[in-house]
């Protein structure tokens, strides 16, 4: 039995009944690199695309970022797009923008109508996150509250409390990624994901990172994680597996759960 919740995007429900949704990252440094990634990824039929704008050399040019979002939207044929700036404190690349400028960039992108989901870190603080909630309500873009710990895996109780805090802060989806120091830490993450199904009412996304953590990317959806991130062309985080391998494993597990 699986527990993942559907993800509602504006007036549609994304891939209702499909578990997990598969998201592939775009990490190209410029437009040509992003378009090459798209050409390689789209035939693999991801359910979602994530543009990691902190990899993009033109991040300080708002018009250029918006234009590329629109180009991704057009070239992908409408595959829902997640817009993500990952901060240095949570494993992202250094950028020239401060937090106020990052928020203005997010606002411009959301108001352009070219993205469907915005990933925004809860650690930005109550003021900025509150503004992101207002932006999401204004534009209809779904807000993913995210938290990343590249050093360790907190306790299951702490992870569930973080999920609850994210929903309380106004998120439409809640996402946690942690680093396991030992195999048992992956069980901690999966346990927290399962417990979160009764602790929050919004879709949950969770993953362990690194080699041990790749197991959560393959099987985490059984415990309630709605989305798994997979490599389409290039990885955006440690432990991501190629989309073809993820789909093969998911297919086997689905058939086992159905008793086939």
Run of H or E including 157: helix 156-169
Helix axes 99-112 and 62-75, enclosed angle (nearest 10): 40
CB 96 within 8 A of CB 59: yes
Cβ distance 90 to 148 under 8 Å?
yes
Nearest to 99 by CA among 112, 115, 85, 113: 85
Phi–psi pair at 24, nearest 5 degrees: -115, 140
Residues 243 and 232: beta-carbon distance below 8 Å: yes
Short-list 135, 128, 125, 192, CA closest to 163: 192
Whether 148 is a known active-site residue: answer yes
Query: Is the CA virtual torsion 221, 225, 227, 229 positive or negative?
Result: negative
Total Cβ atoms within 10 A of residue 220? 26
The reply to whether 254 belongs to the active site is no
Nearest residue to 110 via CA among 90, 139, 137: 139
**Per annotation, catalytic residue among 75, 148, 162, 258:** 148
Catalytic one of 44, 175, 254, 258:
175
Closest CA to 28 of 230, 234, 232: 234
Taking residue 62's Cβ as centre, other Cβ atoms within 10 Å add up to 17
Q: Which residues are catalytic?
A: 148, 175
């Amino acid at each position: 039995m699986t527990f993942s919740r559907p993800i509602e995007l504006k007036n549609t429900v994304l891939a209702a009944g499909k578990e997990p949704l598969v998201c592939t990252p775009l990490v190209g440094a410029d437009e040509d690199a992003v378009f090459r990634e798209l050409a390689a990824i789209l035939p693999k039929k991801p359910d979602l695309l994530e543009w990691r704008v902190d990899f993009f050399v033109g991040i300080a040019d708002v018009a250029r970022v918006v234009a590329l979002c629109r180009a991704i939207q057009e070239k992908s044929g409408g595959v829902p797009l997640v817009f993500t700036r990952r901060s240095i404190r949570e494993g992202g690349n250094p950028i020239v923008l401060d937090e106020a400028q990052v928020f203005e960039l997010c606002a411009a992108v959301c108001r352009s109508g070219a993205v469907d989901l915005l990933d925004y870190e809860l650690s930005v603080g109550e003021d900025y996150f509150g503004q992101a909630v207002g932006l999401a309500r204004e534009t209809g873009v779904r807000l993913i509250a995210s938290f990343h710990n590249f050093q360790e895996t907190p306790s299951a109780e702490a992870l569930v409390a973080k999920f609850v805090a994210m929903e309380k802060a106004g998120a439409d989806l809640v996402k946690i990624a942690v680093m396991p120091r030992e195999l048992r830490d992956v069980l901690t993450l999966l346990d927290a994901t399962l417990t979160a199904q009764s602790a929050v009412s919004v879709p949950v996304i969770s993953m362990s990172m690194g080699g041990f953590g790749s197991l959560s990317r393959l099987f985490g959806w059984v415990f309630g994680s709605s989305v798994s991130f997979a490599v389409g062309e290039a990885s955006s985080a440690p432990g991501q597996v190629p989309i073809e391998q993820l789909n093969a494993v998911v297919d086997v597990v689905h058939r086992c759960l159905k008793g086939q």
